[in-house]
Chain A
Amino acid sequence: MKKRKFDVKQLPAATAGAIDDRYKVATPLRSFLNKVFPDHWTFLLGEIALFAFIILLLTGTFLALFFEPSMQEVTYQGSYLPLRDVHMSRAYETSLELSFDVRGGLIMRQMHHWAALLFMAAIVVHMARVFFTGAFRKPRELNWIIGLLLFWLGFLEGFAGYSLPDDALSGTGLRIASAIVLSIPLVGSWVSTSLFSGEFPGEIILERFYILHVFLLPLVLLTLITVHVGLVIVQKHSQFPGPGRTNHNVVGERWFPRYVLKQGGFFMLVFGVLALMGGLFQINPIWLFGPYEAAVVSSGSQPDWYVMFLDGSTRLMPAWEIRAFGYTIPAIFWPTVVLPGLLTVFPMFYPFIEARLRKDKGFHNLLERPRDVPERTGLGAAGITFYLVLTFSGGNDIIADKFQISLNAMTWAGRIGLLVLPPLAYYVARRICLGLQQHDREVLAHGVETGIIRLLPDGRFIEVHQPLAPVDEHGHGELPYVGAPVPKKMNRLGALPPAVRGFFKPIEEPAPPKPKDREKIETH
């Protein structure tokens, strides 16, 4: 039999054909590749969170190969001399081994930790973007709720991870967590002994946290992230208002290959930045803290930044304990159980509350600029202020120390600030929004201020405005206000920001005014 000639050129087509014969993918694949994505730099924030999560999975898996979540007591004899002969848990010992004996272990630990901080930061900023642009509105309420859950799950995951190495800071954090659990009315002591299998710290809590940290929570996170991103694809991304953009279309570019390629580049960039940080910037140097001992804590010990707002709320809470009939509701219950509860429930219902208040049942695929919804922007500003006051109060001892302020003054400043600053932020943000809107409307009505002053024959001075649209016989051209960016500088005429934009600055430079327009400017 004659051997058939093997044609390399035909190989891809033949393989594709063979696959399609079996799975019938041609149609769904092509419509997937042809999906149009409306790019904007703020859409990148969620992606950073996704990238950080992937890096957490990668580095965390590596750590898990060496880490032992054991509270068994050992006497250290390892290679880090200053801690020789110190009693510690096996968990702390393996964390030291990861740092000093595993080649590359320290950079993995540090990358893991930095990635955790970045993950939470990206989630928070991403949430703010979604809030301020109204991206949570119908039909995207569910994704807002999932995002909120992702924040809290990330918070728990981070806290569990922070507890694992069993250094002095971990143990202190766990101790406070146990007090928070204890404070729950009626069942607190039962929940606490059940969680720790007896009294704090017991011998099993790290093993329980470990399985939470490396299996259960990552599994739930991964599932929710998949659903979250899946919904974005199915519902198609919302877009900012702009030329040609309506509630019913998507204006952007087909996401293959350009957009997806750029995402790959960003992923590498985030990965690279985390590698740099993991290598160059020390984080959580557990060997300096020493193992956890119940009697030892240093002042100025800080939790990770995303826990600080709860630390702050705990510090600011006045000593209000409710005692009646021999029973107690501890003061710590309010800032650490009730407050997070409120901070979960209220934002969760916010999309529905806002829709009810605005009497708005419509679908919204066009985003709103913050200035166009001053009340929401004000509320967001108030929320961020509230959060910042709490976060800074979480480090108020350090601030007091650095700036030589008394701690008590810092605490009182925090308490008062928490009540006064958010309403103030609401007011200021709302005023700014209204002002910006007003300016946009002026430009739409009269054109762009050119800075050119003209002396009229009758001696008056006027500023020359460059109109945005063709002018009528009175020299006026008015464009409707649609909530899209309005050019504010001369010579950007006809250059409403292009639909496809770059990351930091527009890829397309605005076109110079056509000679006809220039004429218009001169003769206005």
Chain B
Amino acid sequence: MSTGTGTGTGNGTGPTRFEVVRQGAREHDDVEIVHYEPQYPPGSKAEKRMTRIVSLMFMLSGLTAILFVLAYVWWPFTDWPSVDGWQYQPGNTASKGFTPILGLMLGLSLGFLGLGILTWGKKLLPHEIALQDRHDGGSDPAERALTGTTLQFIGEELGLARRPLLKVALAAPAAGLGAAALVVPVGMLIKDPHHPDVFFHTGWDPAANGGKKVRLVREDGVTAIRPEDISVGGQITAFPGIPEGNRNKHADSPVLLIRLRQDDAARLRENIKAYPTNAKFEKHPMVGDLVAYSKICTHAGCPASLYEQETNRLLCPCHQSQFLITDNAKPIFGPATQRLPMLPLELDEEGFLAAQGDFAVPVGPAFWEKPSERRDA
């Protein structure tokens, strides 16, 4: 064991500063420094070398920080500090380098600083072994007892035990204000899901369109669709032809409109007969070989949009549920449990595709009171 520190009080006599610290730590803080040793002999070559390394790291840190500032100010990216006319150019332009160069310089600067500090701490500071008593396991029993008595006495002063009426009376504000604290936030937030019945109506409901049946339109929200627009085996996403029908306001409305191959369409028509929810629309829900299913996955609501032509499966990319198009979009793999609701189609007077009415069952994920089949089925 060596104390290895020459830092004295300055006058050369009396205990060194280290000795004072060590004795103080022992007597006042229960810390016993049992080993204390500089990593290198003070003034040694190795120590000087380490000092130079640490200093070099600090200087490199400063240098890269300056480079960071220079890049931030001068590297081309935006018209900073003016704001007009800047456009982000695709392709390999100098502005692409802006963020990487900032990251590189800042990272290097902070990295050198960190390494410098670490090396300073690890290599240049003496290293020691010290022991400290934990004094764990609770307070001195007398202290504990006294605090307990003090608390009990506070209770006695309040006198609830002696005055039962107070106790009963206090329950009133506790219950009342507690209820108030609950009812206000809940009351502020609460929205009845059934008035209006948001889960049961979509943009296809003619009632919300002045009683007029809603046309299927393309992504632009206006272009109506004719049956011949879709080739055999093809599919498009269709939206209700109402104002903002293609926006997130009607997030529950998009459908996948598919033109089946003839034999598949025939199979589907057979299967529809056997499934009352889809069989009981006013008119047959298909127009020719065209069928439309809700695009909103009945599992968790992602768009079920990957249509596999050969197998007639619709795959949802979120958790890989698969729905069989030729059998009323029955879930055949993955976590989904319910069919994709079918949108009943018809042709309007002008020969455009329209919805006979809303879906027979709510679209999207299941919930407690959601029927999975037509209520009158």
A: residues with CB less than 8 A from B are 27, 30-31, 34-36, 73, 79-82, 87, 100-104, 106-107, 110-111, 139, 171-172, 175-176, 178-180, 182-190, 192-195, 197-201, 235-236, 244, 247-254, 257-259, 261-262, 264-280, 292-301, 311, 314-321, 323, 326-332, 335, 363, 365, 396-397, 407-408, 411, 498-500, 502-503, 507
- Smallest Cβ-Cβ distance to B116: which chain A residue: A265
* Pairwise interchain contact B129-A251, C-beta atoms closer than 8 A: yes
Q: Considering the complex of A and B, which 10 residue pairs feature the smallest CB-CB distances, nearest first?
A: A279-B103, A276-B107, A272-B110, A268-B114, A269-B114, A265-B117, A265-B118, A294-B251, A272-B111, A179-B365
Whether B29 contacts A193 by the Cβ 8 Å rule is no
Contact residues in A for B122 (Cβ distance below 8 Å): 262, 502-503, 507
Complex contact A397–B317 (CB within 8 A): yes
A199: chain B residues at CB < 8 Å are 198-199, 251-252
Q: Chain A residues near B242 (CB, 8 Å)?
A: none
Excluding A172-B318, A280-B107, A294-B252, 10 further A-B contacts by CB distance (< 8 Å) are A103-B78, A193-B191, A194-B190, A195-B189, A278-B103, A315-B319, A363-B136, A502-B122, A507-B39, A507-B127
Q: Which B-chain residue is minimally distant from A83 (CB atoms)? A: B88
Contact of A258 among B87, B127, B254 (CB under 8 A): B127
B129 x A81 contact (CB < 8 A):
no
Interface pair A363/B368, CB less than 8 Å apart: no
* Contact between chains at B136 and A248 (CB < 8 Å): yes
A177: nearest chain-B partner, CB-CB = B300
Known contacts A244-B131, A258-B121, A326 near B300 by CB under 8 Å: no
- Inter-chain CA distance A9–B367, complex, in Å, is 75
A261 contacts across to B, CB distance below 8 A: 117, 120-121, 125
Provide the B94-115 mask, 1 if CB < 8 A to any CB of A, else 0.
0000011111101111111111
Q: In the bound complex, what is the Cα–Cα distance between A445 and B156 (angstroms)? A: 63
Q: How far is the CA of A101 from the CA of B118 in the complex (A)?
A: 37
CB of B301 closer than 8 Å to a CB of A: yes
Q: How far is the CA of A387 from the CA of B305 in the complex (A)?
A: 29
A-B contact pairs, 26 of them (CB 8 A): A34-B31, A104-B72, A139-B136, A172-B302, A179-B365, A190-B190, A249-B134, A250-B133, A251-B129, A265-B120, A266-B114, A266-B118, A267-B114, A272-B107, A294-B248, A297-B303, A301-B317, A301-B318, A314-B300, A315-B320, A321-B366, A328-B370, A328-B372, A330-B337, A365-B134, A500-B127
- Report the Cα distance A103→B68, complex, angstroms: 13
Asked whether B163 is an interface residue with its Cβ less than 8 Å from the other chain, the reply is no
A188-B368, A280-B104 given; A294·B121 CB < 8 A: no
B29 touches A300 (CB 8 A): no
Alpha-carbon separation in the docked complex, A197 to B254 (Å): 21
The residue from B31, B102, B136 contacting A254, defined by CB atoms under 8 A apart: B31
B295, CB-defined interface residue at 8 Å: yes
A185 and B365: CB pair below 8 A?
A: no
Alpha-carbon separation in the docked complex, A226 to B338 (Å):
47
Measured between beta carbons, the chain B residues less than 8 angstroms from A236 are 132, 134, 136
B130 touches A254 (CB 8 A): yes
Set A107, A197, A294, A363: member contacting B303, Cβ < 8 A? A294
CA distance A82 to B112 in the complex (A): 39
Contact A189 B368 (CB under 8 A): yes
Interface residues of B (CB under 8 A from A): 24-25, 28-29, 31, 33-34, 39, 72, 77-78, 80, 83, 86-88, 90, 99-104, 106-122, 125-134, 136-137, 189-194, 198-199, 219, 237, 239, 247-248, 250-252, 254, 295-296, 299-303, 305-306, 317-321, 331, 333-338, 364-372
A340 to B248, CA, bound (A): 30
Alpha-carbon distance A252/B126, docked complex (angstroms): 13
State the CA gap A101–B196 with chains docked (Å): 42
- Residue contact A200 to B301, C-beta cutoff 8 Å: yes
- Chain B nearest Cβ from A86, distance in angstroms: 12
Q: How far is the CA of A30 from the CA of B86 in the complex (A)?
A: 58
B247–A73 CB distance below 8 A: yes
CA gap between A264 and B174 in the complex, in Å: 48
Decide: A79 and B301 in contact? CB cutoff 8 A.
Answer: no
Can you name the residue of chain A whose Cβ is closest to the Cβ of B337? Answer: A321
CA distance A31 to B86 in the complex (A): 58
Bound-state Cα–Cα, A52 to B295, Å: 40
When distances are taken between beta carbons in the complex, the residues of chain A under 8 Å from B193 are: 189-190, 192-193
A12 to chain B, nearest CB (A): 15
Given contacts A178-B301, A332-B299, A265 and B115 within 8 Å (CB-CB): yes
The answer to whether B366 and A363 have CB atoms under 8 Å apart is no
Closest chain A residue to B191, Cβ basis: A193
Q: Which residues of B contact A408 (CB under 8 A)?
A: 333
B120 to chain A, nearest CB (A): 7
> Chain A contacts of B114 at CB under 8 A?
265-272
Once the chains bind, are A107 and B99 in contact (CB under 8 Å)?
A: yes
- The distance in angstroms between the C-alpha atoms of A102 and B78, with both chains bound, is 8
In the complex formed, the residue of B with least CB distance to A34 is B29
Q: Which residues does chain B contribute within 8 Å of A264, judged by CB atoms? A: 117
Known: A194-B191, A261-B125, A272-B107. A330 touches B367 (CB 8 A): yes
Residues of B within 8 A of A502 (CB): 122
Min CB gap A265→B, angstroms: 3
Could you tell me the distance in whole angstroms from the C-beta of B50 to the nearest C-beta in chain A? 13
**Listed residue (B131, B296, B366) with the most chain A CB atoms within 10 angstroms of its CB:** B366
Which A residue's beta carbon lies closest to that of B362?
A189
Q: Which residues of B contact A270 (CB under 8 A)?
A: 114
- Cβ-defined partner of B129 (8 Å) among A253, A278, A301: A253
Q: Are A328 and B366 in contact (CB under 8 A)?
A: yes
CB < 8 Å neighbour of B130 from A104, A185, A252, A301: A252
Write out the residue numbers on chain A whose beta carbons fall within 8 Å of the beta carbon of B134. 236, 247-250, 365
Complex Cα spacing A321 to B112, Å = 57
Q: Which of A82, A252, A329 contacts B90 (CB 8 A)?
A: A82
CA–CA, A397 to B239, complex, Å? 28
A81 with B88: in contact, given A261-B117, A294-B296 (CB under 8 Å)? yes
Given known contacts A193-B198, A329-B368, A332-B300, A311 and B190 CB-to-CB distance under 8 angstroms: no
**In the complex, which residues of chain A have a beta carbon less than 8 angstroms from the beta carbon of B77?**
103
Name the distance in Å between A74's Cβ and chain B's nearest Cβ: 12
Whose C-beta in chain B lies nearest to the C-beta of A106?
B99
Complex Cα distance, B83 from A79, in Å, reads: 10
- If A248-B136, A249-B132, A269-B110 touch, does A315 touch B335 (CB 8 Å cutoff)? yes
Distance in Å from the Cβ of A231 to the closest Cβ of chain B? 13
Interchain CB contact under 8 A, B136 and A299: no
Residues of the B chain whose Cβ atoms lie less than 8 Å from the Cβ of A271: 110, 114
Docked-complex contact B251 and A326, CB < 8 angstroms: no
| Contacts A34-B25, A79-B88, A314-B300; A275 near B136 (Cβ below 8 A) | no
A36 partner, pick from B106, B110, B111, B132, beta carbons under 8 A: B132
Q: How far is the CB of B320 from chain A (nearest CB, A)?
A: 5
* A200 pairs with B251, CB closer than 8 A: yes
Residues of B close to A499: CB separation below 8 A: 129
Q: A275-B110, A321-B337 known; A297 and B302 CB under 8 Å?
A: yes
Collect the chain B residues with CB atoms within 8 Å of residue A279's CB.
99-104, 106-107
Measured between alpha carbons, how far is A179 from B251 in the docked complex, in Å? 13
